[in-house]
Amino acid sequence: MDAERERKTRELLAGAKSRSQAKRIAQQRGGSAPDCLEIDSPHGCIANEYVGDPLSLFNGKARDVRRVDAPLTAAVPGSRNTSLYNAHSYMTKVPPEAISPFIEHYTRPGDVVLDMFAGSGMTGVAAAMTGRRALLRDIAVVSSHLSFNHTRPCEPESLDRLWRLLYDELRPDFSEIYRAPGSSRSRDGYAHYTLWSERYPCPDCARTFTLYNAIDTTTGRVGTSIQCPRCDSTLKRRRLRSVGSEPVLINYQAPRGGRRSQRKPNKEDLSHIASFTRDMVTGWYPKVSIGPERDMFNISALHLRGVSEVADFYTPRNLYALSKLFAAIRGMKDERVRQVLTFAFTNTAWHGTRMRRFNARGGQRPLTGTLYIPQISSEVNVLEVMNNKIRQLTRYYGAFPQQLEVLPPVITLGSATNLDGVPDNSVDYVFTDPPFGSNIFYADCNLITESWLGGITRVENEAVVNRSLSAENGGKNLGEYGVLLSLALAEAYRVLKPKGWMTMVFHNTDAAVWGAIQGAAQSAGFDLLGAGSLDRKQMSHKGYKGRSGSENVAHFDVVMSLRKTRKSARPPVRKKAPASYLTGQVTRLMERAPKTG
């Protein structure tokens, strides 16, 4: 631990308001606590395949940072409807074409770009496509997985050919798994998805009914009140108590590649679906518990949905199918194709959960940023989801350069508060999109995907403000969130070259969170020299909530331009801006932000 890092640690420990906060600071600064908890898996922690050495970026002769006197603050457009953006589902992503103008403004080809909250690795994609080197770091196991596969070429023809061979090998078994029984075996259909609906007893007539049969299935809209289809009584939906769920519709393909049809499940359908139990899953699947120690368990009321472990997010049939599919993928001999198929599988495993929502207009998918299980869910054929994802990835790798001008981005797994291995004054530019407050609990939302990867993120090291957890149960308040962010920005300041710039993107309009951000940047030594906005063109589910005012989430991305202007990280003493000033700043930025939607 160098002198500057040790001084900063003592300073933060002196300001700790509790023993638990002091312990967390010491762990983060010392790097003693591992950031990944490996689980029992025959494949080990797959993220270990992706981790590289950051020193490999700094072998050449160092040069001064590019001179840039003014920040880039104009609204930069980005699209959420490109092959580069849609290769894999993730909660928050900045489109790479929106990051590229910042990288090109602040750096030269061959310079090193750092993102210490790398997420899905979009900064690495933008850096690779503009001829810059990149260091991508994140505490999340899934980030290593996404960042690596987003930033490495894969020959599209080889991917398509080897997947087609595997698909043809698996299809007979999956035709049986997703069989839609006909009048004879030769007339059996092939189910693409099965809708499951919650079942409720009517308090007036005492007979049970499914929610699906009580709504307008042409629109899919569900109001606060519904009519019992048995007795026509008007019922308040929030007062109904579920007594289970059952299949209500099967969408299937007729034999020998015939047309798609749908029907209400018959006796044979129900018998076939019920024949799948967890006990018949002989292959490996993740056995990871989830309970009230996680915010998203409480917020999503998973105790009411029968969830106590990751496997409970799946129907027995889909768990059986996914276990079989994963084993086949991990047995693939071609290393790069195996990595990309695993990349496609983790997206498939997310779609294969009970979280996948019924949508009468099409486009059924789980909500991002939550673990919500809807009252009407879609049990999808995971082999066909995987097949569609491979088609998407073939387009992705067709658009991604097969030969990079520089070494591919280096991926590291660990906390942003500890960039050991990265030399002082070595990075040319930082572009990052950190977690802001209590908007999204990434470790919780990543739990399902990470469980399949054989390693899960330690929630105690995550920079969030917990909503439902007390300090005794590991919950972090705004002060502890601010400390973690301060540690991360102090490390960014240490490794950034003198007069270098950092662009920080965020999505929260809460004045208290703004205050924590301001304090963290000031504590690290950065000067805030500009602010602007980034337009993603199409908003996420969280973004629409922000626009409606139901959550403190910006419906556009605010961009802060920070610069390392002092030789020492010790900042001058300033007063923290009052909440009224911060609120005014947020309001002005929102007024200037691009109109979307």
Q: Which fold has domain 52-136+402-438+478-592?
A: Rossmann fold (3.40.50)
Q: What tens digit of pLDDT does each residue of 191-213 get?
A: 999 999 999 999 999 999 999 99
Position 28 scores a pLDDT of: 47
Give the residue from 550, 368, 339 showing the smallest Cα distance to 442: 368
pLDDT of residue 105: 96
Task: Please list the residues that pair with 261 across neighbouring strands.
Answer: 252
Separation between Cα atoms, residue 141 and residue 458, nearest integer Å: 10
> What is the reported pLDDT for 317?
98
Calpha distance 554→75 (Å, rounded): 15
Task: Please choose, from the candidates 568, 424, 566, the residue with its C-alpha nearest in 3D space to the C-alpha of residue 497.
Answer: 424
Higher pLDDT, 77 or 65: 65
Confidence of residue 29 (pLDDT cuts 50, 70, 90): very low
pLDDT tens digits, one per residue of 479-505: 888 888 899 999 999 999 999 999 998
> By percentage, how much of the chain surpasses pLDDT 90?
61
- Of the listed ranges 34-43, 104-113, 327-336, 345-354, the least confidently predicted one is 34-43
Is pLDDT above 60 for 32? no
pLDDT score of 531 more than 50: yes
475 pLDDT higher than 60: yes
pLDDT at 578 (0 to 100) = 55
Token readout for 351 is: 């779609």
Would you say how long the chain is, in residues?
Answer: 597
Mean pLDDT of the chain: 85
Angle at 533 between CA 527 and CA 537, to 5 degrees: 155
Predicted pLDDT at 532: 79
Mean pLDDT of 362-375: 90
Q: Alpha helix locations (H) across 433-551?
A: 442-445, 447-453, 478-495, 511-524, 541-548
Long-range contacts of 65-69 (CB under 8 A, 24+ apart): 65/428, 65/429, 65/497, 65/498, 65/499, 65/500, 66/106, 66/107, 66/108, 66/111, 66/428, 67/499, 68/105, 68/106, 68/501
Task: Give the per-residue pLDDT at 59.
Answer: 80
**Kind and range of the H or E element at 558?**
strand 553-563
Place of tokens 């090998």: 169
Q: What is the pLDDT of residues 136-169, one digit of tens each?
A: 999 999 999 999 999 999 999 999 999 999 999 9
Mean pLDDT over 559-570 rounds to: 78
401-437 residue pLDDT tens = 888 889 999 999 999 999 989 999 999 999 999 887 6
pLDDT higher than 60, residue 580: no
362 confidence band (pLDDT: 50, 70, 90)? confident
pLDDT of residue 93: 75
DSSP annotation string for 315-329: -HHHHHHHHHHHHHH
Going by C-alpha positions, the residue among 430, 408, 576, 567 that lies closest to residue 491 is 430
Domain regions of the chain by residue span: 52-136+402-438+478-592, 156-397
Do residues 97 and 76 make contact, with C-beta atoms less than 8 angstroms apart? no
Most confident listed range (13-17, 70-74, 170-174, 547-551): 170-174
d(CA 182, CA 199): 26
Higher-scoring residue by pLDDT: 6, 390? 390
* pLDDT higher than threshold 80 for residue 513: no
Residue 21: its pLDDT value, please?
Answer: 47
Residue 465: partners with Cβ closer than 8 Å, 6 or more residues away: 437, 438, 476, 477, 478, 481, 513
User: What pLDDT, on a 0 to 100 scale, did the predictor assign at position 183?
Assistant: 74
Contact between 386 and 325 (Cβ < 8 Å) = yes
* Six-digit token string for 23: 């312990």
Give pLDDT, residue 188.
Answer: 93
